[in-house]
Amino acid sequence: MASQFTLFRSRRFTPMFFTQFLGAFNDNFFKQALLLLLTYSAAAKLGSSVSLLNNLAAMLFILPFFLFSALAGQLADKYEKSRLTVYIKVLEIVIMILAAFGLIFEIYWLLFVALFLLGAQSTFFGPIKYAYLPQAMHKDELVGANALFQTGTSLSILLGMIVAGVFTQLDNHLYWVSAMALLIAGLGLLSSKFVPHTPAVEPDMKINWNIFSTSMDTIKYLYSLPLLFFIILGNSWFWFYGATFLTQTPEFSKVILNGNESVVIFLLTLFSVGVSAGSLICKTLTKNQVSFKLLPFGIAGLSIFAIDLYFSLSALNINSSALLGISELSQMSGSWRVFADLFFLGFSGGLYIVPLYAAMQAYSPITHRARVIGANNIFNAIFMVTSAIFAIVILNLLKLSLPQLFLVTGVLNIVFGVFLYFKLKRYKDTMQIQQDALIM
């Protein structure tokens, strides 16, 4: 069986992979740099709380996914995808020019505008890249291509955050951040030029520019396809789950592990590498078939290691007057169990999410594939916002601890996971019966 890495030899895969990799890197590089800027200098200058500004930034980035995902899906179905990709990458350069102007002259309202526009640019690119894969890949390449995309996304997010942390520590950091953002946007545009021509699947479609009615129409259409509806619910649960854990990582690194900033990056790296490893092994375990057979293992792992994380964190007793680095923390009793839990949480997430993304692409009607992915982005955004509300309720209103939040999330995952698996199995079996009847 050929390795999925052989896909990098193909022009059908490599340009789009690097276009999305560089785009995800730039999104997270600029967003993290802005959050660090707001936290350590801008909040004091503006006379506002760090929490208010950071939450405003997070909301502005995710808001376009609510507003424009359905419209983005229509455009990706109606127009040829390589040309759309180039236009979106040109837009990214324009946004980064605005961002650079805002950074160098410290025009904070312009930075917030640039962040909103960057979220909008990501919103319009999302349906293109995931609708592109099933159109450009052979059927036996789809799982491997999704595994590599998921791996690339995880690593690009992590690298973007790490590089932002490094660049914001440099002298004249505003200039360095601006130059890096523009460089990555330029490389993304260059990569997009090599994406092969990908014909429009519904060129005669009339675009509905009303973003509210088209969003409702897209959701209603999705609900009429129960298998896809539950696949997307499963995808969105992964974003809820991941956001719940990753958002709390800085706090439990400092409060429970007594770790410094390097520990935060290390823990995020463990999770991201775990997701990458779980994603990459999917191709081998499924033998290139679009299948839900790995889903129970992913669901089980997400719960087992979340619950064990509760026990491993609860058992720790770290007393130190100074914040610990990675080497000092690794010598503490019980720390390796925490590290293993985070890695295998990510690994289980990779086993969980790759089959769902491949199934979403494989079972979507060809003429509506990008719109289905647009609906997926809407639900992802809703679930991520719900994750933040859920954490606030658990931690601030119910006054539970961070380990207890992980325990509750792990238990909820069992309930949701069992419900999801049986729904997917039921509707997949129903669809198979209908297809067999048509053949007969």
Residue-wise pLDDT for 229-243, tens only, equals: 999 999 999 989 988
Predicted pLDDT at 435: 47
Predicted pLDDT at 153: 84
Pairwise CA distance, residues 378 & 387, whole Å: 14
List of residues 6+ apart from 329 with CB closer than 8 A: 257, 258, 259, 263, 318, 335
Predicted pLDDT at 42: 62
Predicted pLDDT at 280: 84
Predicted pLDDT at 438: 38
HSE-CB at 261 with a 13 A cutoff on CA atoms is 7
Q: 9-207 and 221-439: same fold?
A: yes
Q: Is 287 left (phi over 0), alpha (psi -120 to 50) or beta?
A: left
pLDDT digits (tens, 9 = 90+) for 312-338: 998 887 877 777 888 888 888 888 999
Query: What is residue 259's three-state secondary structure?
Result: strand
Pairwise CA distance, residues 295 & 281, whole Å: 13
Pairwise CA distance, residues 69 & 232, whole Å: 14
Q: Which CATH architecture has domain 9-207?
A: Up-down Bundle (1.20)
Instruction: Provide DSSP, 91-152.
Output: HHHHHHHHHHHHHHTT-HHHHHHHHHHHHHHHHHHHHHHHHHHHHHS-GGGHHHHHHHHHHH
Tokens of 250: 């800085």
Tokens of 125: 């690119």
Pairwise CA distance, residues 103 & 426, whole Å: 52
The fold adopted by the segment(s) 221-439 is Growth Hormone; Chain: A; (1.20.1250)
| Contact predicate 10/189, CB 8 Å | no
| Contact predicate 313/366, CB 8 Å | no
Predicted pLDDT at 439: 40
Helix axes 335-363, 108-136, angle to 10 degrees: 60
List of residues 6+ apart from 437 with CB closer than 8 A: none
Residue 208: what are its φ and ψ, rounded to 5°?
-95, 110
Angle at the Cα of 123 from the Cα atoms of 122 and 127, rounded to 5 degrees: 105
pLDDT digits (tens, 9 = 90+) for 250-297: 777 777 888 877 787 788 889 888 988 998 888 788 877 878 889 999
The one-letter code for the residue type at 236 is S
Tokens of 133: 């894969």
| Contact predicate 131/370, CB 8 Å | yes
Burial class of residue 438, CB neighbours in 10 A (0-12, 13-18, 19+): exposed
| Contact predicate 102/114, CB 8 Å | yes
State in Å, rounded, how far the first CA of the chain is from the last one.
33
The one-letter code for the residue type at 156 is S
Q: Where are the alpha helices (DSSP H) in 287-392?
A: 295-315, 326-330, 335-363, 369-392
Length, in residues, of the chain: 440
Closest Cα partner for 76 from 368, 375, 378, 376? Answer: 368
Predicted pLDDT at 186: 96
Instruction: Going residue by residue through the chain, which has 440 residues, state the pLDDT in tens, using 9 for 90 and above.
Output: 556 778 888 898 899 999 999 999 999 899 888 877 776 666 566 666 555 666 677 778 888 888 888 888 889 889 999 999 999 999 999 999 999 999 898 888 898 899 999 999 999 998 888 788 888 888 788 888 888 888 888 789 888 988 887 888 788 889 999 999 999 999 999 999 999 998 888 888 888 888 888 888 888 888 888 999 999 999 999 989 988 887 777 777 777 888 877 787 788 889 888 988 998 888 788 877 878 889 999 999 999 999 999 999 988 878 777 778 888 888 888 889 999 999 999 999 999 988 898 888 888 887 778 788 888 888 988 898 888 788 878 887 888 888 999 999 999 999 999 999 999 988 887 755 544 443 44
Domain boundaries, the chain: 9-207, 221-439
Pairwise CA distance, residues 77 & 366, whole Å: 9
DSSP 8-state secondary structure symbol assigned to residue 324: B
pTM of this structure: 0.78
Predicted pLDDT at 431: 59
* β-pair partners for 259: 324
| Contact predicate 317/174, CB 8 Å | no
- Using alpha carbons only, how large is the chain's radius of gyration in Å? 22
Residue 259: what are its φ and ψ, rounded to 5°?
-100, 155
